[in-house]
Structure 1
């Protein structure tokens, strides 16, 4: 038995595993493979976890050393960790990979990989303390390969958009979704999931009905701006270049973010929302800093069908350090050291409608691809109306339309009206080009929040 097999490692949470995935597509694929029936020969010993994942041909052998962490897999994928390692670590996090049999002995192939023979390893802090020169060089080569593939994809996308505009938008509504799905698949192949996601947004605007040519032109213009920005990122300010890379689909490890500057503050939990697709449940938690006045967004992920991990309750406050992901308008953050447990919250400080619209405008100026920006409105009154509700300043000088969807959201509006009773309230939500979507309300000086979404 080697020297590390007796050293046990704390079992990670699913959030910590998914945070290691280099991009959203690897996260989704890994979650889809995290089924015990797909795996054989799994085991763990000390800080090592391993297993064989059944594929179309021979099974892929995946291994992870959680102390590095370092990862290895003999699949042809170019990312580290790949989807097989992500799936293996998810099963381990969920307690479905048990200790190795026969006194904890590791299979020979596991020992060989952990000893460095043929391991495709990547540290959480590439190039940092503990990473070997070979690891740093391998990470650099992988990054360069991906950059070349994404640049080729962005160049191809530019040609396709030029062909679309050269032929005119008039016939776009007759081509259906197939054109966009095929182009999106090409962007996935180029390891640019963010470009693929925006390409798929071209389908609905091209459908007949309403002012679809204007909507399609707006979406193609934003897509062209994103592709061109990536191809010329060296000439851009670093915060804008970081925003573009994030929008294209590049991610930054949480550990790398936490290694940078942090903002220590008393953070109030403004709202929490879970959304699900066919594989993942995404939890969004918004926080408001009492001293800094900043709003932060925490993201966590869980496989569909599994009970979500306990999160921060809406309305509590905690003193903690947050590190923000790089970007022109930093919003997403990683939660670092906590300096106090959850305490009773307060009513957050907010903005009047006009100032909130100004904040949204500044955010869009820094990140043109924003769909919405979180704001706290203070001293506003909900105004029912047909076809659309509004929230307006108490004196009625400024107002913004409210955007919702579905019967449950409609019930939330009436809940907001009940909280207000015709008097000014404080409301947190997202402000976008279609209006304001409310999430949480506070009546007067009462610190008890009222959730407005299911």
Structure 2
């Protein structure tokens, strides 16, 4: 309809300006308007785009790291060679989980999460597949990488690249301590959004939590009996319940603003991976 033509025209102008990510967000607005909860979702999406545009108007006056964030959010790509030339963090890194999403009709993304054993840092490897051609690198969940990870410039560094590394086999991995209180997760999420309003998703390790199923929904319950809604398939939810068997467990995943998506679980020292359903970023 006319709305789709209008958004397509705007998206085309963004593509001409080499702002591909912003173009995709604009192109997806008609899909957002077709959702059941479209008023709130559309308001959120337009609010983030508006904030991004207003920030761009003040780009020269902003700190360098925030300028880099804005350029990346709009779709300006950094050269991998320049990132890899920077100093990184040497550690043993656990491939703690992956999340696949459909960014556009011919574009899929894969977020691979790494956790540093000594540093406690969490890094995200972001890869894209065009037209189902597959991904350039193969990161297997559960692998332990001994090597250097370099973070992209950002006010809130999460995205990273793996430099020189080797895969470690038959050695234990000591997962850093996580959060035992969902209120702490809320505080960290609020601080992250305050630092970078467009951050999504936010990774976290949750300790001493128990998965439950009630009223058709899966939840995690912390030591204070506070509940956290889960974004997961029934298959993943029941797998989480089975691994727990009513006992407190450790869960790694990503907070997506309204729900937590579990990607892996630690039970009695063993790590088990949950199959993540492919999602849309809209």
1:423 pairs, out of 242, 247, 270, with 247
The residue that corresponds to 2:27 in the other structure is: 200
Q: Which residue of 1 aligns with 2:184?
A: 355
* Cα distance in 2 between the residues matched to 1:371 and 1:200: 19
Query: Aligned residue pairs: how many?
Result: 273
Query: Deviation per CA, 1:394-429, whole angstroms, max 9, x where unpaired?
Result: 341x3211123xxxx211100000001111111111
Structure 2 residues not aligned, in runs of 5+ = 278-282
Counterpart of 1:3 in structure 2 is none
Query: Any gaps of 5 or more consecutive residues in structure 1?
Result: 1-173
Cα displacement (A) at 1:177: 2.7
1:225-374 aligned within 5 A: 225-275=51-101, 279-302=106-129, 304=131, 306=133, 311-338=138-165, 340-343=166-169, 344-346=171-173, 348-349=175-176, 350-352=178-180, 353-374=182-203
- Is 1:440 equivalent to 2:260 in the alignment? no
What TM-score does the superposition give when structure 1 sets the normalisation length? 0.55
Cα–Cα, structure 1 residues 314 and 217, in superposed 2: closer, same or farther, change >3 Å?
Answer: closer
> Could you tell me which residue of structure 2 aligns to residue 402 of structure 1?
230
For residues 72-91 of structure 1, what are the structure 2 equivalents within 5 Å?
Answer: none
User: CA shift at 1:181, angstroms?
Assistant: 2.0
What does residue 208 of structure 2 align with?
A: 379
- Cα gap change, 1:318/1:207 in structure 2, threshold over 3 Å: closer, same or farther? closer
Higher relative contact order (CA 8 A, sep 6+): 2
Cα separation, partners in 2 of 1:345 and 1:299, compared to 1, 3 Å: farther
CA distance in 1, matches of 2:187, 2:256: 12
1:351-370 superposed Cα distances (whole Å, 9 cap, x missing partner)? 12222222222221122122
Distance 2:42 2:101 in 1: 26
C-alpha distance after superposition, 1:23-71 (max 9, x if no partner): xxxxxxxxxxxxxxxxxxxxxxxxxxxxxxxxxxxxxxxxxxxxxxxxx
Whichever structure has more strand as a proportion of its residues is 2
Q: In structure 1, how many angstroms separate the alpha carbons of the residues matched to 2:274 and 2:36?
A: 35
Q: Structure 2 length normalisation: TM-score?
A: 0.86
Change (3 A) 1:225 1:280: closer
Higher Cα Rg: structure 1 or 2?
1
1:293-340 alpha-carbon deviations (Å, 9 max, x no partner):
1111113344545565662322232221111011111111111122x5
Aligned counterparts of 1:347 and 1:374: Cα–Cα separation in 2: 18
Q: Structure 2: how far apart are the matches of 1:453 and 1:347?
A: 24
Q: Distance in 2 between matches of 1:308 and 1:206?
A: 31
Cα shift at 1:246: 0.6
